């Protein structure tokens, strides 16, 4: 249910229950990777005490071409009234504007109040640059409110303006989410005795308040005051601030130092795409769209028409997105089981899809991950 019983940051659940997951494959390879998320959930060890039901839901550009609707009301209704969480594959977007079409995932984020885009970027020990960070991007305001106007200056030349809106309300909730994620990551590390990059949690608040003293100044001030006001809860977290341009520099110079990064919408968008470049393939980077009561796991990649139908899409971004969804539902043990199996697969050279230099199929990678549970 879209219910009060599911809280994004509850500790690991021990109650036995059936969990209903909406599956929205969308377009292209979305249809090849969403079954991987389902297979992972169906094959979780029974000792975790979770049982899943699934409901297939429509959305996407192909659906729009057939029916004139990209996001049917029924899909939203079932998600709200019946589902505990959801997985979204990818949607194709036409390169030219098509009258009446707008992205169903953007609409879903609005309709379900999913105010944060959470994007973990993680390398596997010993492969490439060491990185294990989560970017927590505010998803509802900043310059992305799209309040723009163009007018003529006195000399007849055009001037364009956009409003950057930062609110105390949205900043408070995104800051809390960042701190809570930092604590949850630490709990998972401790539970799995993982020897990772971070031995203690940290949150880096990204801003440009040296120039934008009011808007980014408010973002920075609220992030700090949420931390100070909850010191009893957050005192194990190291609080850091970083101006966004030097943040980009440091993220590429020394990505290993960052644990959780919280940012307003625009900086979060740019930082998270940049961070994905640190770990090799789009096929391994997950995300979750998160609100108070609901999370949708979504791989970062698109519908990949160039590899559609070949059976070689990398399922790892979706499998990690599935774990992320479970984390936000409070099932941290199940999430850790999935993350560890994925890392174990990536740490070996044998079973990989071609984007990672291997020659295995989507199904072979899914089977290899599941056998490691």
Host H or E run for residue 261: strand 260-263
Q: Is 283 in the site for ligand NAI (CB under 6 A)?
A: yes
Quick one: which of 92, 140, 321, 345 contacts ligand NAI (CB under 6 A)? 92
Site string for Mg ion, 277-296 (x = CB under 5 A): --------------------
Shortest reach from residue 99's CB to ligand NAI, in Å:
17
Q: Is 311 in the site for ligand NAI (CB under 6 A)?
A: no
Residue 237 contacts residue 203 (beta carbons within 8 Å): yes
DSSP 86-115: EEEEE----SS--TT---HHHHHHHHTT--
Quick one: which of 84, 132, 269, 298 contacts Mg ion (CB under 5 A)? 269
Residue number, 220 or 352, with CB nearest to ligand NAI = 352
Alpha-carbon distances of 346 from 41, 137, 336, 365, 368, rounded to whole Å: 19, 27, 15, 10, 10
CA–CA distance, 248 with 209 (Å, rounded to integer): 16
CA–CA distance, 71 with 80 (Å, rounded to integer): 14
Q: Is 119 in the site for ligand NAI (CB under 6 A)?
A: no
Q: Is 364 in the site for ligand NAI (CB under 6 A)?
A: no
Query: Which does residue 244 bind out of Mg ion, ligand NAI, none, counting CB within 5 to 8 angstroms by kind?
Result: none
Question: DSSP alpha helices (H): ranges in the chain?
Answer: 30-42, 61-67, 73-82, 104-111, 168-191, 215-229, 231-234, 244-253, 265-276, 316-328, 332-347, 362-371
Question: How many C-beta atoms lie closer than 10 Å to residue 34's C-beta?
Answer: 26
Q: Is 122 in the site for ligand NAI (CB under 6 A)?
A: no
Quick one: which of 23, 44, 105, 334 contacts ligand NAI (CB under 6 A)? 105
- The total number of residues shown for the chain amounts to 373
In 3D space, the residue among 368, 364, 362 whose CA is nearest the CA of residue 30 turns out to be 362
By CB under 6 A, how many residues form the interface with ligand NAI? 21
Residue number, 222 or 304, with CB nearest to Mg ion = 304
Q: Is 139 in the site for ligand NAI (CB under 6 A)?
A: no
Shortest reach from residue 35's CB to ligand NAI, in Å:
13
Both tokens of 261, joined, read: 């990064």
CA–CA distance, 280 with 53 (Å, rounded to integer): 34
Both tokens of 366, joined, read: 């899914």
Shortest reach from residue 307's CB to ligand NAI, in Å:
4
Q: Is 113 in the site for ligand NAI (CB under 6 A)?
A: no
Site string for ligand NAI, 12-51 (x = CB under 6 A): -----------------x---x------------------
Query: Which does residue 116 bind out of ligand NAI, Mg ion, none, counting CB within 5 to 8 angstroms by kind?
Result: none
Which parts of this chain interact with ligand NAI (CB under 6 A)? 29, 33, 90-93, 105, 282-283, 301-307, 313-314, 317, 353, 355
């Amino acid at each position: 249910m879209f219910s009060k019983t599911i809280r994004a940051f509850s500790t690991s659940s021990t109650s036995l229950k059936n969990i209903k997951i909406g599956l929205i494959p969308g377009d292209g390879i979305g249809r090849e990777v969403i079954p991987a998320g389902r297979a992972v959930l169906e094959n979780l060890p029974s000792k975790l005490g979770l049982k899943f039901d699934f409901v297939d839901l429509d959305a996407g550009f192909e659906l729009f071409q057939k029916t004139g609707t990209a996001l049917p009301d029924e899909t939203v209704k079932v998600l709200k009234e019946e589902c505990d969480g959801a997985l979204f594959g990818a949607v194709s977007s036409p390169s030219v504007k098509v009258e009446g079409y707008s992205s169903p995932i953007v609409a879903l984020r609005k309709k379900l109040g999913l105010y944060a885009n959470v994007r973990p970027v993680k390398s596997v020990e010993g492969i490439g640059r060491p990185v294990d960070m989560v970017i927590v991007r505010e998803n509802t305001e900043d310059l992305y409110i799209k309040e723009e106007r163009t007018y003529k200056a006195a000399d007849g030349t055009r001037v364009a303006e956009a409003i950057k809106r930062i609110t105390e309300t949205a900043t408070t909730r995104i800051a809390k989410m960042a701190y809570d994620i930092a604590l949850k990551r630490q709990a998972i590390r401790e539970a799995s005795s993982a020897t990772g990059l971070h031995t203690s949690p940290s949150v880096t608040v990204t801003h440009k308040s040296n120039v934008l003293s009011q808007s980014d100044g408010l973002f920075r001030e609220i992030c700090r005051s949420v931390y100070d006001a909850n010191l009893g809860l957050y005192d194990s977290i190291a609080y850091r601030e970083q101006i966004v341009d030097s943040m980009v520099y440091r993220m590429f110079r020394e990505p290993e130092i960052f644990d959780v990064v919280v940012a307003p919408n625009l900086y979060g968008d740019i930082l998270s795409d940049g961070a994905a470049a640190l770990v090799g393939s789009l096929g391994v980077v997950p995300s979750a769209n998160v609100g108070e009561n609901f999370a949708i796991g979504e791989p970062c990649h698109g519908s990949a028409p160039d590899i559609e139908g070949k059976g070689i899409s990398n399922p790892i971004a979706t499998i990690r997105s599935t774990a992320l969804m479970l984390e936000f539902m409070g099932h941290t043990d199940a999430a850790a089981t999935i993350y560890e199996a994925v890392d174990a697969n990536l740490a070996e050279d044998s079973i990989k899809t071609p984007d990672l230099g291997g020659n295995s199929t989507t199904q072979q990678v899914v089977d290899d991950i599941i056998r490691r549970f």
